[in-house]
Chains A and B, each alone.
Chain A
């Protein structure tokens, strides 16, 4: 038996797991394989003799048009990558688990039909949706992982790792705009005895309640970071020292006035150090800013807690309601 005689190439083309169609010089379809019919819902009978814009009203693709001309006029093949073109024909894919990919992603080759000056271009469509979806899924995971790695799971605040990245950018922006940036270093007073006497569960609730109270006093553009156990840092872009002190006082008063974690108001209080990054004063950076805020916090603790201490001489620490 002669194997050659058994090879019906048209039949093979029908069964290949890729899309194949042929265009003539007038852009009319002269072949449309079963795979394409199956995926697109357009039968060969509907496709033959028609143009792509007849099948997909409004369809137009100059890159593809040029590739077809080059294939027919010059025998030059072209690859239309998914990376640069996404797809050629708008073929829907099932939506489940598609990571937002709704149309079949395609790698397309346009080549002259073998046999020299045939006046036809063969178009091959490979479905690369799975690869794209896989890459997309991996990216989503990576994004989520990154997000998780930058947040504290208990309070959902950003952590120190995020803080250093953010601060590096933000100080540059402060320099560019010549706008000062304030840092509040906050610490819950006597947290350890509270945590030990009430239990870790209540301790966690105090941390969460404290964060919720502080957040109400901050602007959208400010960020709050969990700096350590019961220590937090707030950064206030475009903020003067005076405003930062007022904000810190409001926070201190709110915290003392709230029944945090079901405790009597006043049982939870906090101390706050306030420092300023001023672009006009050279020689300071993120580390100096935090060190200064930390020093002020230590001073507030030292002077009796439940008070705000700013970084400038002459601005005395005050624990009472002087800043109302």
Chain B
């Protein structure tokens, strides 16, 4: 399964719209101007992601995770390199003041969970609008670990060979600082097919032949 040029453009455009909505919410919450852009979107089989990410270097990843059910089945991850997530929280909420390491960690995780939740939620709402059908999300969870642990160890019942992932690269700009993150929508193949056929239908509706 591959994205056509038009599908990629359409998904990228939708991701950018939802990113700007998320940025608006974050700006209001944090009383600061925050900008989120999506420079690139692609679709890969889940096993290919493993090679891609392991080639991308190691390091601990901070991840906010929400499970998807209903019309789309799978999960959504928002990932940042751990040092980037700390930089992000610092840029968003400023210096939290002196704190013991444990309290600071908890504070950072909580803040990251909510930030991730807002970005994932706006994207999911846009997908729900596109699909015109019921989409359900679990509550968000925060996790840290290697890409392998976070992406491939999760739901036991999932067959990686039958999953694809929509990789949405994001750049979050706060306080003159750019932080790169990746939104990964891991979908069962039939859910991805459903999503792409809805995108084609939408393109047809607005007069663009896929």
Contact with B along A111-136 (1 / 0, CB 8 A): 11000110000000000000100110
Cross-chain contact B25 with A63 (CB below 8 angstroms): yes
Q: Which of A180-206 contact B (CB under 8 A)?
A: none
Q: In the complex the two chains form, what is the Cα distance from A142 to B97 in whole Å?
A: 11
Contact with B along A222-257 (1 / 0, CB 8 A): 000000000000000000000000000000000000
Is B111 on the interface with A (CB-CB < 8 A)?
yes
Contact with B along A34-67 (1 / 0, CB 8 A): 0000000000000000000000000000110010
Which stretch, A71-79, A87-95, A170-178, A285-293, touches the partner chain B? Answer: A71-79
Q: In the complex the two chains form, what is the Cα distance from A78 to B120 in whole Å?
A: 10
Cross-chain contact A142 with B98 (CB below 8 angstroms): yes
Is A107 on the interface with B (CB-CB < 8 A)?
yes
Residues of chain B within 8 A of A79, CB atoms compared:
113-114, 117, 139-140
Q: In the complex the two chains form, what is the Cα distance from A76 to B108 in whole Å?
A: 23
Closest to B97 in A: A139
Is A143 on the interface with B (CB-CB < 8 A)?
yes
Is B55 on the interface with A (CB-CB < 8 A)?
no
Question: Given A74-B125, A76-B121, is A81 in contact with B111 using a C-beta cutoff of 8 Å?
Answer: yes
Cross-chain contact A75 with B135 (CB below 8 angstroms): yes
Q: Chain B's nearest CB lies how many Å from the CB of A88?
A: 13
Q: In the complex the two chains form, what is the Cα distance from A111 to B135 in whole Å?
A: 13
Interface residue range, chain B: 20 to 34
Residues of chain B within 8 A of A77, CB atoms compared:
66, 137-140
Is A83 on the interface with B (CB-CB < 8 A)?
yes
Q: Chain A's nearest CB lies how many Å from the CB of B53?
A: 26
Residues of chain A within 8 A of B115, CB atoms compared:
84
Cross-chain contact A83 with B134 (CB below 8 angstroms): no
Cross-chain contact B99 with A84 (CB below 8 angstroms): no
Residues of chain A within 8 A of B29, CB atoms compared:
63, 84-85
Give the tally of cross-chain contacts (CB within 8 A): 84
Partner of B28, one of A62, A116, A134: A62
Closest to A108 in B: B114
Is A218 on the interface with B (CB-CB < 8 A)?
no
Is B162 on the interface with A (CB-CB < 8 A)?
no
Q: Chain A's nearest CB lies how many Å from the CB of B6?
A: 26
Residues of chain A within 8 A of B98, CB atoms compared:
139, 142-143, 146
Cross-chain contact A74 with B135 (CB below 8 angstroms): yes
Closest to A114 in B: B136
Residues of chain B within 8 A of A267, CB atoms compared:
none
Closest to B103 in A: A135
Residues of chain B within 8 A of A30, CB atoms compared:
none
Is A82 on the interface with B (CB-CB < 8 A)?
yes
Is B124 on the interface with A (CB-CB < 8 A)?
yes
Cross-chain contact B121 with A70 (CB below 8 angstroms): yes
Interface residues of A (CB under 8 A from B): 62-63, 66, 70, 73-85, 107, 109, 111-112, 116-117, 131, 134-135, 138-139, 142-143, 146
A-B contact pairs, 25 of them (CB 8 A): A63-B25, A63-B28, A66-B25, A74-B124, A74-B135, A75-B137, A77-B139, A78-B117, A79-B113, A79-B117, A81-B113, A81-B114, A82-B110, A83-B110, A84-B29, A84-B111, A84-B114, A85-B114, A109-B139, A135-B99, A135-B103, A138-B99, A139-B98, A139-B103, A142-B98
Can you add 13 more A-B contacts, CB < 8 Å, to A84-B93, A85-B29, A143-B98? A63-B25, A73-B125, A74-B121, A75-B128, A77-B139, A78-B117, A81-B111, A111-B139, A135-B103, A139-B97, A139-B98, A139-B100, A142-B98
